[in-house]
Amino acid sequence: MAGIFSVGRRAGTMAVAGLFCVAVVGAASAEPVQVQFDCYPVIACRDVTPEGFSDLRPGEKVIEARIRVSARIVAGSAEDLREMLFEIRSAEQRSRIDDFEPRTQMDSDLLEPIQITRTEESRRSLGVGLGGSIAVPAPGVTADIVPTANLGASRREAVTSSFKKRPPQRPIVISGTTHQEHGVFFKLRPSSQTSLEGVHELKCRLRVPVAWRGDWLLLTCRAEGRWTRYFVKADGVCGQSRFVLGLHAAGDEHAMQAAENLARVQLLPREREVEFSSEGSRSEFRSGPLRGSARALAKMSGVEL
Mean pLDDT of the chain: 79
Query: Using one digit for the tens of pLDDT, what is the confidence trace for 146-183?
Result: 555 555 556 666 667 676 666 677 888 999 999 999 99
Task: Inform me whether the pLDDT recorded for 131 exceeds 70.
Answer: no
Query: Using one digit for the tens of pLDDT, what is the confidence trace for 50-108?
Result: 999 988 999 999 999 999 999 999 999 888 999 999 999 999 999 999 999 999 988 76
Q: 89, 7, 142, 9: which is closest to 283 by C-alpha?
A: 89
- Percent with pLDDT over 70 in the chain: 65
Q: At what angle do helices 253-265 and 288-298 cross, to 10 degrees?
A: 160
Place 274 in a pLDDT band, splitting at 50, 70 and 90. Answer: low
Which structural domains are found in the chain, ordered by start?
Answer: 30-108+170-298 (2.60.40.680), 114-165 (no CATH)
Q: How many residues does the chain have?
A: 305
| Contact partners, residue 126, CB within 8 Å, separation at least 6 | 151, 152, 153, 154
Task: Inform me whether the pLDDT recorded for 2 exceeds 80.
Answer: no
Residue scoring higher pLDDT (145 or 250): 250
pLDDT score for 13: 53
CA separation for the pair 163, 150 (Å, rounded) = 42
CA distance readout (Å), 279 to 85, 244, 271:
21, 19, 21
Q: 285, 296, 290, 282: which is closest to 266 by C-alpha?
A: 290
Buried b (16+ CB within 10 A) or exposed e, 227-259: beeeeeeeeeebbebbbbbbbbbeebeebbebb
Task: Inform me whether the pLDDT recorded for 133 exceeds 70.
Answer: no
Q: Is the dihedral of CA 8, 13, 18, 23 positive or negative?
A: positive
Q: 222, 208, 205: which is closest to 84 by C-alpha?
A: 222
Is 191 in a helix, a strand, or coil? Answer: strand
Of 18-22, 73-77, 229-233, the range with the lowest mean pLDDT is 18-22
pLDDT score for 9: 57
CA separation for the pair 216, 259 (Å, rounded) = 8
pLDDT score for 205: 97
Task: Inform me whether the pLDDT recorded for 137 exceeds 90.
Answer: no
Task: Inform me whether the pLDDT recorded for 129 exceeds 70.
Answer: no
pLDDT score for 248: 98
Say what the alpha-carbon torsion angle 281, 284, 290, 295 is, to the nearest 10 degrees.
50
Q: What is the mean pLDDT of residues 133-158?
A: 56
Residue scoring higher pLDDT (212 or 273): 212
pLDDT score for 291: 87
pLDDT score for 192: 80
Residue scoring higher pLDDT (230 or 258): 258
- Percent with pLDDT over 90 in the chain: 50
pLDDT score for 171: 86
The verdict on pTM exceeding 0.75 is: no
Task: Inform me whether the pLDDT recorded for 17 exceeds 60.
Answer: no
Task: Inform me whether the pLDDT recorded for 280 exceeds 90.
Answer: no
